[in-house]
A and B are shown apart, each in its own frame.
Chain A
């Protein structure tokens, strides 16, 4: 993976980074910090502009790409219409203890306190599932509950 660097008089610097195959990405860094990103899909292809960033934005994007950027979102300060409840998605993996049981038998409600408001099964969505709805492997359970309750649900659905 090679990087070619060259000077653009009066503008700034240009970097070309080789990607897989013949593709490459070209970055033009202006003196004032502005960054333009182009992709080239082959040695014969023309550059296609993907992004035009201000200096600040370019630095931020760069640190995300570098893996150095991390700013956790403070969930407690997020205002959600559900009070302190949040919505989470949990997948029922094939060897999950609840796979094959009905929603009632899985005791999700009584054990964890979360409510399953919908089940995403392939293309279809079962909203407001009844207690006799069977949970199949691959189902995505959409649950409402506090963070503690969600953690308990995760523990219940996870294979032992």
Chain B
């Protein structure tokens, strides 16, 4: 693509994002799969194959997608409530461990069965383990379940998953960006944890520093300083081979103990919304739908196996909160929804193509994950909406 057309390309991208967002709002569905489909529809494999000018995976879209990941995880850290986790650690811990053991375990088994290698298995396990905080929270509000007891195990388990994923991403990104042998993998993990330790020290000791940094009456300076710190640290992390997502998560956590949490949420949520949408769009742009079609068998296997596993682990999680069968079932139905984090892991897999992963394997994992999220984001929301039908089977 020539440089002079790139602004037009970006314009087409944002217009498409806006248009499908409108469609999603009309249909009252989560916009995430729509952003992905918009990206697929406009990419070189679809529009380009038809001989029309396509939206290329330009540098701007790629960096925009990375910023989307950074801001998504930054907000996760910002809203991560360690006190809440600790105050309810018994129940959250039990429900969270059940969720982790069942789904991550099944994901590992599926990965080994499909690829016969530990690294692809680890990536696939992450994709099927992590439920979508964004979509589930929105559905909870839409259905009014937020007022019911089933919201406690759901939100608790999601908080637990967030923490697991921060650690998981640190390890996996280190493994993926390291060399193929055990030594370089160990070194990469060492670097990752050293960087996280540094960030944790920053979180613990940096509150006053961050408070001083953000102490300005000007909204403009406030936003720019917050964005500056977050993106700089995330970029630095990536430069030394640590997951930028994890770095952003901890920076968010550092800001969460300041008095500016609410201001940050207000000031940065629009930036997050824009770049998160670019991230989902980029996921679609680099997706070859024909590879997704080739991976249909894998996707079906994942859906058929891991929808019931979430249903089971969610149900058991609800039971640990002493909920009745009907409400426990709702927890299970809600947890089926997968979304943004599975896609972040898919992007990690794609970045390993030709490096620590065979190009073929990386592409298959990526395409399967995209197809899987498209199915699971829609399936989970549908199951929650139809929960009344399922509840008949458990109510006596």
Contact = CB atoms under 8 A, between A and B. Distances in A.
Contacts of B266: 31-32
Looking at chain A, what size class is its interface with the partner chain? Answer: 20 to 34
B158 interface: yes
Contact of A31 (B141, B152, B265): B265
B141 A11 contact: yes
Interface stretch (A38-46, A56-64, A116-124, A141-149): A38-46
B187 interface: no
B90 interface: no
A14 interface: yes
Nearest to A32: B266
A122 B145 CA distance: 46
B206 to A, nearest CB: 22
Looking at chain B, what size class is its interface with the partner chain? Answer: 20 to 34
Nearest to B146: A28
Contacts of B158: 9
A14 B324 contact: no
A110 interface: no
Given A40-B147, A40-B148, A10 B262 contact: no
A16 B147 CA distance: 8
Given A26-B147, A31-B262, A46-B148, A9 B141 contact: no
Contacts of B133: 9-10
Counting chain B CB atoms within 10 Å of each CB, the highest count among A40, A44, A47 belongs to A47
A9 B79 contact: yes
Contacts of A10: 75, 79, 133-134, 137
Contacts of B149: 43
A9 B324 contact: no
B217 interface: no
Contact of B137 (A9, A26, A46): A9
A47 B144 contact: yes
B75 A47 contact: no
A7 interface: yes
A14 B148 CA distance: 11
Contacts of A43: 149
A47 B134 CA distance: 21
Contacts of A6: 84, 152, 155
B159 interface: yes
A9 B155 contact: yes
Interface string B66-89: 000000000110011100100000
Contact of A8 (B144, B155, B265): B155
Nearest to A28: B146
A46 B144 contact: yes
A154 B80 CA distance: 63
Contacts of B81: 7, 9
Given A8-B137, A10-B75, A28 B147 contact: yes
Contacts of A49: 144, 147
Given A8-B155, A9-B158, A31-B266, A38 B80 contact: no
Interface string B45-85: 00000000000000000000000000000011001110010
Contact of A47 (B137, B147, B159, B265): B147
Contacts of A9: 76, 79-81, 133, 137, 155, 158-159
A47 B148 contact: yes
A28 B155 contact: no
A111 interface: no
Interface in B129-175: 133-134, 137, 141, 144-149, 151-152, 155, 158-159
A105 interface: no
Interface in A1-53: 6-11, 14, 16, 26, 28, 31-32, 36, 38, 40, 43-44, 46-49
A49 B159 CA distance: 26
Nearest to A16: B147
A32 B265 CA distance: 9
B354 to A, nearest CB: 36
Interface in B108-146: 133-134, 137, 141, 144-146
29 contacts: A6-B152, A8-B146, A8-B151, A8-B155, A9-B76, A9-B79, A9-B81, A9-B133, A9-B137, A9-B155, A9-B158, A9-B159, A10-B75, A11-B137, A11-B141, A14-B146, A26-B146, A26-B147, A28-B141, A28-B147, A32-B266, A36-B146, A38-B144, A38-B146, A46-B144, A46-B145, A46-B147, A47-B145, A49-B147
Nearest first, the 7 A-B pairs at minimum CB distance are A47-B147, A38-B147, A26-B147, A9-B79, A7-B81, A49-B144, A47-B148
Interface of A: 6-11, 14, 16, 26, 28, 31-32, 36, 38, 40, 43-44, 46-49
Interface of B: 75-76, 79-81, 84, 133-134, 137, 141, 144-149, 151-152, 155, 158-159, 262, 265-266, 324
Given A46-B148, A47-B147, 6 more contacts: A6-B84, A6-B155, A8-B151, A9-B159, A14-B147, A36-B141
